[in-house]
């Protein structure tokens, strides 16, 4: 590689690191400072910040497409490889790509800023589905070979596994030594299930935790009110979810709301104040749902099932808030200490539930420490919103039960 090519790669790697921690708000000056070069010199390699983002995202998309092609090609190769190993191999490759291209992964969670170039806007519109289609093809081939149960929706499961693998790269947990087996463990849970003796759906539907879940879900309010502050919360929620908290300005919110920037600031003195107002209902609803389900009695399997139903409804009812909350998984989340987003508390409570289930023989014991096992399950009970949109609430729950609880593989 020429010295100029090496410098270009250094700029891309530095920008990727900064984007991964601070988002697209990172400036060319910050990238130049981190590289030890003047911003003007950056223009010798890239005409704009958007050009850097475009190249990072394109490399990420190209690698995912190449991984998908390799997985599909391997389906036609002779050999004894079964569906489980193929799913694990593809899952590990997707997770590794998400970690390797973490900046691009995070940048593609949201729409580009209003100032983005046409090239970046066009690239953002085209979501790569190749890996999900490849995963679904592997699962369907497994069904044809009698390895996957016929009642499992292989298309939805393909998307579910791929989203779960990419989610490994969203936070910073992947940097831990404890996370090295996370992709494999998650794939094996989807295939083998966590429950040692999965109850019938009718039993789960009548359980005390499920009744508690349905009651708290029914209590969630739909309306925002009709005053100015409620209008701004609704607009702010949409804008923060579309472009991310960091990339959205109060000027963007004001423009979308049809108000002056001064009026917005008189209602909410800062962007953090608006964020707290938006997210408080979400946090309170999540906390109440977890509290009610985990104190409702029932078996560990029934409580886990009810938590999955809660989270499916959260992703349906509060999809914008959930996208905003992804910022908390980054190194530099919004400075909003007033919010009661209880990820740490929920992780501890889930850990207690998992350990209880293992001790009474209701759950298989997964790899890793108790906290790592809880972290794995926390991600598995979060059904991605694209799966919910594609199949609906009931289909999402059915998929969760058929995989996370029961396992997609035919019992041997």
pTM over 0.85: yes
The reply to whether 3 and 102 lie within a common domain is: no
Question: Is residue 67 within a helix (H) or strand (E), and if so which, with residue range?
Answer: helix 49-75
Identify the domain boundary among 363, 384, 405: 363
**Residue position matching structure tokens 């069904």:** 143
Report the domain count for the chain. 3
The reply to whether 293 and 185 lie within a common domain is: no
Q: What is the CATH number of the domain that holds 170?
A: 1.10.357.10
Give Cα separations from 55 to 62, 103, 236 (angstroms). Answer: 10, 11, 30
257 inside domain:
no
**Which of 119-133, 217-231, 347-361 shows the highest mean pLDDT?**
347-361
CA distance 391 to 155: 10
80 or 263: whose pLDDT is higher? 263
What are 382-393's pLDDT values in tens digits? 888 888 888 899
- Per-residue DSSP letter, 23: G
Q: How far apart are the first and last CA of the chain?
A: 53
Identify the domain boundary among 140, 170, 191: 191
306 inside domain:
yes
393 inside domain:
no
The reply to whether 207 and 72 lie within a common domain is: no
Give Cα separations from 217 to 88, 249, 343 (angstroms). Answer: 35, 32, 19
State the average pLDDT over residues 34-60.
Answer: 86
Give Cα separations from 248 to 110, 117, 360, 362, 387 (angstroms). Answer: 11, 16, 49, 46, 27
- Per-residue DSSP letter, 196: S
Give Cα separations from 308 to 58, 166, 189, 204, 210 (angstroms). Answer: 34, 20, 14, 12, 10
Helix pair 28-35, 49-75: axis angle to 10 deg: 80
CA distance 53 to 240: 20
pLDDT at 410 over 50: yes
CA distance 160 to 213: 23
The reply to whether 210 and 305 lie within a common domain is: yes
Q: What is the CATH number of the domain that holds 38?
A: 1.10.10.60
The reply to whether 350 and 208 lie within a common domain is: yes
pLDDT at 24 over 90: no
Output Rg (C-alpha) for the chain, integer angstroms.
22
The reply to whether 118 and 181 lie within a common domain is: yes
378 inside domain:
no
The reply to whether 111 and 148 lie within a common domain is: yes
The reply to whether 210 and 353 lie within a common domain is: yes
The reply to whether 199 and 315 lie within a common domain is: yes
The reply to whether 289 and 213 lie within a common domain is: yes
CA distance 17 to 6: 17
CA distance 369 to 366: 9
Write down the pLDDT at residue 25. 77
Write down the pLDDT at residue 197. 93
CA distance 369 to 177: 11
Query: Which of 183-187, 209-213, 303-307, 368-372 is predicted least confidently?
Result: 368-372
Give Cα separations from 393 to 12, 145, 293, 316, 317 (angstroms). Answer: 41, 29, 18, 8, 11
Partners of 148 in the beta sheet?
409
State the average pLDDT over residues 100-110.
Answer: 84
Query: Which of 63-67, 144-148, 173-177, 217-221 is predicted least confidently?
Result: 173-177
218 inside domain:
yes
Q: What is the DSSP string of 290-343?
A: HHHHHTS-S-HHHHHHHHHHHHHHHHHHSHHHHHHHGGGGSSS----TT----H
Give Cα separations from 337 to 25, 129, 243, 271, 280 (angstroms). Answer: 21, 37, 22, 13, 11
What are 199-253's pLDDT values in tens digits? 999 999 999 999 999 999 998 875 566 688 989 999 999 998 888 887 788 999 9
402 inside domain:
no
Instruction: Give residue 400's Cα distance to chain centre.
Output: 16
The reply to whether 210 and 162 lie within a common domain is: no
380 inside domain:
no
Question: Is residue 214 within a helix (H) or strand (E), and if so which, with residue range?
Answer: helix 208-219
Write down the pLDDT at residue 319. 87
Residue range of the domain that includes 23 = 1-47
Reported confidence tier of residue 331, pLDDT bands at 50, 70, 90: very low
Q: Rounded to the nearest 10 degrees, how much is the dihedral formed by the CA atoms of 164, 356, 364, 167?
A: 10
Write down the pLDDT at residue 223. 59
The reply to whether 112 and 87 lie within a common domain is: yes
Identify the domain boundary among 145, 167, 191: 191
- Per-residue DSSP letter, 407: -
133 inside domain:
yes
Reported confidence tier of residue 332, pLDDT bands at 50, 70, 90: very low
Query: Which of 15-29, 292-306, 392-406 is predicted least confidently?
Result: 15-29
Residue 354: CB atoms within 10 Å: 24
Give Cα separations from 309 to 38, 293, 381 (angstroms). Answer: 52, 10, 9
Assess contact for 382 and 314: CB atoms under 8 A.
no
């Amino acid at each position: 590689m020429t010295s100029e090519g090496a410098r270009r790669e250094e700029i891309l790697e530095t920008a990727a690191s900064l984007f991964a921690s601070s988002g697209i708000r990172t400036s060319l000056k910050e990238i130049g400072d981190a590289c030890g070069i003047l911003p003007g010199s950056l223009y010798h390699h890239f005409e704009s910040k958007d050009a850097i983002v475009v190249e990072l995202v394109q490399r990420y998309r190209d690698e995912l497409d190449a991984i998908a092609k390799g997985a599909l090609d391997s389906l036609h190769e002779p050999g004894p490889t079964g569906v489980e190993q193929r799913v694990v191999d593809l899952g590990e490759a997707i997770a590794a790509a998400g970690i390797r291209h973490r900046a691009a992964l995070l940048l593609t969670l949201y729409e580009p800023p209003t100032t983005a170039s046409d090239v970046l806007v066009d690239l953002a519109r085209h979501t790569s589905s190749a890996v999900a289609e490849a995963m679904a093809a592997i699962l369907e081939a497994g069904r044809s070979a009698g390895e996957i149960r016929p009642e499992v929706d292989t298309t939805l499961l393909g998307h579910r596994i791929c989203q779960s693998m990419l989610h490994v790269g969203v936070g910073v947990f992947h940097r831990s030594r404890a996370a090295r087996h996370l992709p494999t463990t998650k794939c094996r849970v989807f295939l083998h299930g966590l429950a040692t003796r999965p109850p019938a759906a009718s039993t789960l539907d009548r359980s005390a935790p499920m009744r508690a879940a349905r009651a708290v879900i029914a209590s969630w309010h739909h309306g925002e009110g009709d005053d100015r502050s409620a209008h701004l919360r609704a607009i702010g929620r949409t804008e923060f979810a579309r472009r991310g908290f960091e990339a959205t300005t109060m000027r963007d919110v004001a423009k979308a709301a049809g108000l002056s920037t001064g009026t917005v600031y008189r209602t909410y003195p800062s962007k953090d104040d608006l964020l707290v107002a938006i997210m408080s209902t979400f946090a309170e609803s999540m906390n109440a749902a977890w509290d009610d389900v985990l104190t409702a009695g029932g078996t560990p399997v029934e409580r886990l099932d009810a938590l999955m139903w809660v989270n499916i409804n959260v992703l349906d009812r509060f999809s914008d808030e959930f996208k905003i909350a992804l910022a908390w998984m980054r190194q530099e989340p919004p400075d909003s200490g007033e919010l009661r987003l209880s990820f740490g508390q929920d992780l501890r409570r889930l850990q207690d539930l998992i350990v209880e289930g293992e001790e009474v023989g209701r759950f298989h014991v997964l790899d890793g420490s108790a906290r790592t096992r809880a972290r794995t399950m926390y991600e598995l009970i979060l059904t991605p919103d694209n799966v919910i949109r594609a199949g609906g609430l009931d289909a999402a729950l059915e998929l969760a039960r058929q995989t996370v609880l029961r396992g997609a593989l035919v019992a041997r």
